[in-house]
Amino acid sequence: MRKLNFVEGEIYHIYNRGVEKRDIFMNDGDRFRFLRSMYFCNDIAPAVNSFRDKNEFDETMNLDIEHKSLVRIHSFVLMPNHFHFLIEPLNDSAITVFMHKLGTAYTMYFNKKHRRVGSLFQGPFKAISVKNEAYFNYLPYYIHLNPLDLSYPSWREQKLKDYNNAFKFLNEYRWSSYLDYIGVKNYPSIIYRDLLLEILGNPLRQKGEMKEWLKNMSFDVVADLTFENDVIV
C-alpha cells in the first residue's frame, strides 16, 4: 500500500472500518458520541474534555465562535462497522491531525464504555484523492446510498425493486449528511454544504437525482477503489 500526501484544498475520500470488521457503533449513543467527536476534534485547538460524558448532539454547538476548523467535511455516513467522509483539508497536515484526534478520542470512549482494550479500527484510516471527475460525481451519491446495505443489500447488484420504500428508508436514516442536502436540518454544524450544493444542485434536484441513482445506478468506479485498493496514511 502506498502513502498519500495531502494537499490543502483538494478533496479526499476517507474511510475506515472496525478491526476484524467488527461493529464500531453499538447503539445510538455511540453514533451521537462519534458525531460530537467529529465536531470537537475538527478544531486547530487541542481536543477538550467538555464533551467527555455527553453522548447527545446539540446543534447549538455551531455558535461556538472560537471554533476554527481543520477540515471541511462535505459529506459523511456512519454504518455499523465503518464510516465514509468526503473531506477537504484547510492545510496540508489537517486531515492527519483531525483523523488522529477523532480516532483516539472515539476509541478511548468506546473501549471504556464497552469494557474492551486494544485497537478499534482496522489499522490507519484509508484515503483516496478525488481527482477523477467520474469518481467525484459518483461519490456523494455512493456515500449517501450506503445505508441501503442494512435493509436492501441487493442494491449493489442493481437488483433493487422496491424503489419507493428504499427511498423512504434513505429519507429516514439520520446517520449521514444526506438529510442536510435535501433540506432537512440534521447536522449542519458538522458539514460544509456549499461545494456540493453548487455542483449537485438544490435539495429538490438532489432528491430527484437520488431517485434516478436508485433506478439506474452503477458504482463500478467507486467500488473498484473503495476498501479493495486501500491507500494507507
pTM summary value = 0.88
In this predicted structure, the answer to whether residue 50 has a pLDDT above a threshold of 70 is: no
Regarding whether 53 and 109 lie in a shared domain, the answer is: yes
Beta 71-78 vs 12-17: how paired, if at all? Answer: unpaired
Q: What confidence score (pLDDT) does residue 220 get?
A: 60
* Secondary structure tally for the chain: helices H, strands E: 9, 4
Distance between CA atoms of residues 29 and 124, nearest Å:
24
Q: What confidence score (pLDDT) does residue 206 get?
A: 84
pLDDT tens-digit profile of 87-139?
999 999 999 999 999 999 999 999 999 999 999 999 899 999 998 777 788 88
Residue 43, domain member (yes or no): yes
Residue 4, domain member (yes or no): no
Cell, residue 28: 445510538
Q: In what order do the strands lie in the sheet with 71-78?
A: 71-78, 82-89, 12-17, 126-129
Distance between CA atoms of residues 90 and 71, nearest Å:
5
Distance between CA atoms of residues 221 and 76, nearest Å:
18
Regarding whether 67 and 109 lie in a shared domain, the answer is: yes
pLDDT tens-digit profile of 209-226?
888 887 776 656 555 545
Regarding whether 45 and 105 lie in a shared domain, the answer is: yes
- Mean of pLDDT over the chain: 85
When pLDDT is averaged across residues 173-197 and rounded to a whole number, the result is 94
The last residue of a domain, from among 129, 149, 171: 129
Residue 177, domain member (yes or no): yes
> In angstroms, how far apart are the furthest CA atoms of the chain?
48
SS3 11: coil
> By residue range, what is the domain housing residue 221?
133-186+195-225
Regarding whether 106 and 160 lie in a shared domain, the answer is: no
Which of residues 183 and 53 earns the better pLDDT score?
183
Which segments of the chain are extended strands (E)? 12-17, 71-78, 82-89, 126-129
